[in-house]
Structure 1
Amino acid sequence: MTKPMTKTQLVAALADAMGADKKTASAALDAISEVVAREVAAGGAVTLPGLGKVVCRERPAREVRNPATGEMVKKEADKQVKFTIAKALKDSVNA
């Protein structure tokens, strides 16, 4: 297994693919991250064409077990961010 691509490597690859400089690519990546975070935090969903869909789901309050002590503890309701992979990406990886 290889190491995951770092932000610096991603920015360099984006700049190369866009035919732009690294500063422009970095600004584009930061803008996309900011828009996705803002939309998902507001309860919406964002579809990234060819990649997948980012959505925020509500989780109800529930009983969970503390693995260290075995004690059952009540966990409050919270939100969880989910990413669903697009079928096109799955197919391209498995081809």
Structure 2
Amino acid sequence: MNKTDLIDAMAEHAGITKAAAKKALECALTEIEGALKKGDRVSLVGFGSWSVSQRAAREGRNPQTGDTIQIKAKNVVKFKAGADLSNAVN
């Protein structure tokens, strides 16, 4: 399922227009992104939660040459599925 498929499904399920579903989805994603940028955790009970953690700098290897390279530290988004979602897919 891609974004367009999700918008179509949301519109049909909620009985709203595709434009309204698209706006709702984009607003939700923007708010989740904004919260994560601030370092907050986003939790949807039963579905799951997103959080930001820092990946430390480390040494790696260039697979083509075998040379050692330095990989910079960066923030990464983590998602942990909630119990309801885990049960639904198992």
What residue number does 1:19 align with?
Answer: 15
Please report how far the alpha carbon of residue 16 of structure 1 lies from its aligned counterpart in structure 2 after TM superposition: 1.4
Q: 2:82 aligns with which of 65, 71, 86?
A: 86
What residue number does 1:47 align with?
Answer: 43
Which amino acid is the alignment partner of residue 42 of structure 1? K
1:9 aligns with 2:33: no
Which amino acid is the alignment partner of residue 49 of structure 1? V
Which range is displaced more, 41-50 or 16-25? 41-50
Aligned-partner SS, 1:9? helix
What residue number does 2:62 align with?
Answer: 66
Inter-partner Cα distance in structure 2 for 1:73 and 1:20: 52
Inter-partner Cα distance in structure 2 for 1:7 and 1:82: 20
- Structure 2: which 5+ residue stretches go unaligned? none
Inter-partner Cα distance in structure 1 for 2:4 and 2:73: 36
Q: TM-score, with normalisation over the residues of structure 1? A: 0.85
Inter-partner Cα distance in structure 1 for 2:29 and 2:63: 34
CA RMSD across the alignment: 1.2
Inter-partner Cα distance in structure 2 for 1:49 and 1:24: 24
Provide runs of 4+ in structure 1 moved above 6 Å.
Answer: none
Please report how far the alpha carbon of residue 56 of structure 1 lies from its aligned counterpart in structure 2 after TM superposition: 1.1
Give identity over the alignment, percent.
36
Inter-partner Cα distance in structure 2 for 1:64 and 1:14: 43
Q: TM-score, with normalisation over the residues of structure 2? A: 0.90
Q: 1:56 aligns with which of 20, 45, 52?
A: 52
- Structure 1: which 5+ residue stretches go unaligned? none
